[in-house]
Amino acid sequence: MDYNPSRTMFTLNAPSTAKEVKVRLYDSCSASRPSQTISLKRIGVNRWAGTARGDMNGKYYTFDMGRGECPGPFAKAVGVNGKRAAVIDLKTTDPDGWADDVRPSIATPSDLVVYEMHHRDFSIHPSSKSQYPGKFLALTEPRNLWYLNTLGINAVQIMPSFDYATVDESHLEEPQYNWGYDPLNYNVPEGSYSTDATDPATRIREFKLMVQALHSAGIRVILDVVYNHCMNIEQSNFQLTFPDYYFRMASHLKGAPGDASTKGGRYANASGCDNETASEQPLMREFMLESVRYWVEEYHIDGFRFDLMGIHDMETMRQIRSMLDSIDPSITIYGEGWAANPPAIDNDICAMKASTYKMKGIGAFADEMRDAIRGPFADDTKPAYLAGMAGHEESIKFGLVGGIRHDGVDMNKVNYSKVAWAAEPSQHVSYVSCHDDMSLVDRLRASIPDIKDDELIRLDKLAQTLVFTSQGIPFLWAGEEVLRDKKGVRNSYNSPDSINQIDWNNLQKHPDVFMYYKGLIEMRRNHKAFRMGSAELVRRNMQFLPTPDCVIAFTLNGEAVGDSWKRIVCIMNSNRKAATITIPEGRYTIVCRNGMINLQGFAHTSRSKVRVAAQSAMILASIV
Ligand code: CA
3-state secondary structure string, 389-419? CCCCHHHHHHHHCCCCCCCCCCHHHCCCCCC
Interior/surface letters 350-373, b for 16+ CB within 10 angstroms, e for the rest: bbbbbbbbebebbbbbbbbbbbbb
CB 434 within 8 A of CB 477: yes
Distance 114 CA to ligand 1 centre (A): 25
Distance (Å, rounded) from C-alpha 281 to C-alpha 251? 16
Residues 6+ away with beta carbon under 8 Å from 167: 176, 177, 178, 180, 190, 192
Cα of 196 from ligand 1 centre, angstroms? 12
C-alpha 213 to ligand 1 mean position (Å)? 23
List phi, psi (to 5°) of 380.
-65, -20
Q: Which of 592, 598, 612 is nearest to 465 (CA)?
A: 592
**Contact at 8 Å (CB) between 552 and 558?**
no
Give the model's pLDDT for residue 285: 98
> 402, exposed or middle or buried, with CB in 10 Å at 0-12, 13-18, 19+?
buried
Residue 436: per-residue pLDDT: 94
Angle, helices 453-468 vs 367-374, to 10°: value is: 160
CA atoms within 13 A on the CB side of 110: 30
pLDDT along the chain (624 residues), means of 10: 95 97 98 98 98 97 97 98 97 98 96 98 98 98 98 98 98 97 98 98 98 98 98 96 95 57 76 96 98 98 98 98 98 98 95 98 98 96 98 98 98 98 98 97 97 97 98 98 97 98 97 98 98 98 98 98 98 98 97 98 96 98 88
CA distance 547 to 571: 9
As to burial, measured by CB atoms within 10 angstroms (0-12 exposed, 13-18 middle, 19+ buried), residue 424 is: buried
Q: How far apart are CA 448 and CA 462, in angstroms?
A: 15
Which of 32, 33, 162, 7 has its CA nearest to residue 87?
7
- Residue of 307, 393, 460, 485 marked catalytic: 307
Beta-sheet strands, E only, within 230-365 = 303-306, 332-335, 363-365
Q: For residue 365, give the nearest of 397, 339, 342, 393 by alpha carbon.
A: 339
Question: How far is the centre of ligand 1, averaged over its atoms, from the C-alpha of 492 (Å)?
Answer: 18
Distance 543 CA to ligand 1 centre (A): 49
d(CA 335, CA 356): 10
pTM score > 0.95 for this model?
A: yes
Distance in Å, CA 168 to ligand 1 centroid = 7
Distance CA 393, CA 584 (A): 21
**CB-count burial class (<10 Å; 0-12, 13-18, 19+) for 5:** exposed
Residue 170 CA to ligand 1 center (angstroms) comes to 10
Separation of CA 80 and ligand 1 centre (Å): 7
User: CA-based Rg of the chain, rounded to a whole angstrom?
Assistant: 25
For residue 425, the 8-state DSSP code is: G
Report how far ligand 1's centroid is from the alpha carbon of 38 (Å): 27
- CA–centroid distance, 223 to ligand 1, in Å, is 16
Contacts of 265 (CB under 8 A, 6+ apart): 250, 258, 274
Distance 234 CA to ligand 1 centre (A): 17
307 is catalytic: yes
- Cβ(409)–Cβ(398) under 8 Å? yes
Distance CA 357, CA 426 (A): 11
Ligand 1 mean position, distance from CA 78 (Å): 9
Closest Cα partner for 277 from 290, 263, 291, 287?
Answer: 287
| Å from CA of 164 to ligand 1 middle | 4
CA of 175 to the centre of ligand 1 (A): 15
**Residue among 336, 371, 442, 460 flagged as catalytic:** 336
